[in-house]
């Protein structure tokens, strides 16, 4: 059965349509047009949102948990609970993100997540885990953040093999410090296997970053956080992240990880096509203040801060909030802010079916108020419980 969704406006990448009519069938978008150029099929179900904006479903490339669930746990019911929470807040797809742990424990967690992805229900109103983001263990000891020092290690082809086998084809993104021994050959091998590499948790120099980009790295993990500070004679990885158009760069726009004025500087530097919003959210997201797990350690949450031994340990941010924050922090229009959570993360992954509302794309559609509040979500054309 076909469904026609109408609204006041539609934003998709650089496209903007007034009074759009979106026809959906079998989980795909069949057509997107104005009322003047589109005739709604006679037997179609019509869903009207006269004061709202249609945008592609949000994509979170960096999220450790939500709704009380940590992705390292490996529980099917827990991941489904997290996915329901995300869907109701506009997210249609996400990368389940790991945290550094003892290698056998990390390998087991990756295998569990991979199995969950492979058996994910196709017709459920849930955000989809579309792959794994391996954050650590190949990170800088100095810039590891809350990642446990004892499990940090250097990258190698053998370690890549081990995690790649455990992931069974679901490993989509790896965060790595480029200054570590073995990093360049591991980056090249990961890219050859179709895995995207992000520069992050690094004390590297600008030259380290440039070598990583030449080797195939295309992204930067939570810019400003867990990396060497930029100096006027030593720009470091941060200087390259802000200035090099060969890399996309993500930011946690919660006003806690990065000051709102610095978020604005970042957005001016990377622009509307290369900036990516992520949450770095943990299990406490959507939950009351208290104590929660992130991998193998405990995090204390009070208000917008998640701390472990006095250090920030992820966030309780949602992409819905992040998009709204961009409109406030940088005075960006909603149409431009939305791109940072839709088309741009899809670009990082190289997935042509995601992050846009156009014929042939997945029917992942989020309905927003004019101020960016999520009113309804569709994942594969199936409505969530908003």
Q: How far apart are CA 338 and CA 250, in angstroms?
A: 14
Q: How does DSSP assign 242-300, residue by residue?
A: HH-TT-EEEE--SSSSS-HHHHHHHHHHHHHHHEEE---B-TTTTS-SEEEEETTEEEE
pLDDT tens per residue across span 123-180 = 889 999 999 999 999 999 999 989 999 999 999 999 999 999 999 999 999 999 999 9
Separation of alpha carbons 252 and 315, rounded Å: 8
- Of 60, 70, 208, 280, which residue is the catalytic one? 280
pLDDT tens-digit readout, 289-321 = 999 999 988 999 999 999 998 999 999 999 999
Token code pair at residue 265: 């500087």
In the chain, where the domains are located: 3-54+370-383, 58-350
CATH architecture of 58-350: Alpha-Beta Barrel (3.20)
Cβ-contact 41, 2 below 8 angstroms: yes
Strand partners, 17: 10
Encode pLDDT of 272-292 as tens digits: 999 999 999 999 999 999 999
**Using 50, 70 and 90 to split pLDDT, how confident is the model at 386?**
low
Q: Which of 10, 48, 62 is nearest to 361 (CA)?
A: 10
**What is the model's pLDDT at position 14?**
85
CA distance 178 to 165: 23
Fold of 3-54+370-383: Urease, subunit C; domain 1 (2.30.40)
| 280 counts as catalytic | yes
């Amino acid at each position: 059965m076909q469904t026609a969704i109408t609204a006041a406006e539609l934003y998709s990448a650089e496209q903007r349509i007034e009074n759009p009519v979106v026809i959906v069938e079998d989980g795909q978008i069949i057509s997107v047009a104005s009322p003047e150029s589109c005739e709604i099929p006679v037997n179609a179900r019509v869903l009207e949102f006269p004061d709202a904006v249609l945008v592609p479903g949000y994509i979170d490339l960096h999220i450790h948990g939500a709704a009380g669930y940590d992705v390292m746990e490996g529980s099917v019911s827990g991941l489904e609970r997290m996915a329901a929470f995300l869907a109701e807040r506009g997210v249609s797809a996400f990368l389940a993100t790991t945290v550094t742990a003892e290698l056998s424990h990390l390998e087991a967690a990756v295998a569990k997540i991979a199995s969950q992805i492979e058996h994910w229900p196709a017709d459920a109103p849930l955000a989809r885990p579309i792959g794994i983001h391996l954050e650590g263990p190949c990170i800088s000891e100095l810039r590891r953040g809350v990642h446990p020092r004892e499990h940090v290690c250097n990258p190698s082809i053998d370690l890549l093999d081990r995690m790649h086998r455990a992931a069974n084809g679901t490993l989509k993104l790896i965060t790595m410090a480029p200054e570590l021994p073995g990093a360049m050959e591991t980056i090249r091998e990961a890219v050859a296997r179709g895995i995207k590499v992000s520069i992050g948790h690094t004390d590297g120099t600008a030259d380290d970053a440039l070598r990583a980009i030449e080797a195939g790295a295309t992204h930067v993990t939570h810019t400003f956080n867990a990396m060497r500070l930029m100096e006027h004679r030593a720009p470091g990885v941060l200087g390259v992240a802000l200035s090099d158009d060969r890399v996309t760069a993500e930011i946690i726009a919660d006003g806690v990880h990065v000051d709102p004025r610095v978020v604005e500087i970042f957005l001016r530097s990377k622009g509307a096509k290369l900036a990516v919003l992520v949450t770095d959210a943990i299990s406490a997201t959507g939950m009351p203040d208290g104590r929660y797990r992130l991998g193998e350690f405990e995090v204390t949450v009070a208000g917008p801060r998640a701390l472990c031994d006095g250090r920030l340990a992820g966030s309780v941010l949602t992409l819905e909030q992040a998009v709204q924050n961009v409109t406030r922090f940088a005075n960006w229009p909603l149409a431009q802010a939305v791109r940072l959570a839709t088309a741009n993360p899809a670009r990082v992954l190289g997935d042509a079916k995601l992050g846009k509302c156009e014929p042939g794309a997945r029917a992942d559609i989020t309905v927003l108020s004019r101020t960016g509040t999520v009113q309804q979500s569709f994942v594969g054309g199936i409505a969530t419980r908003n």
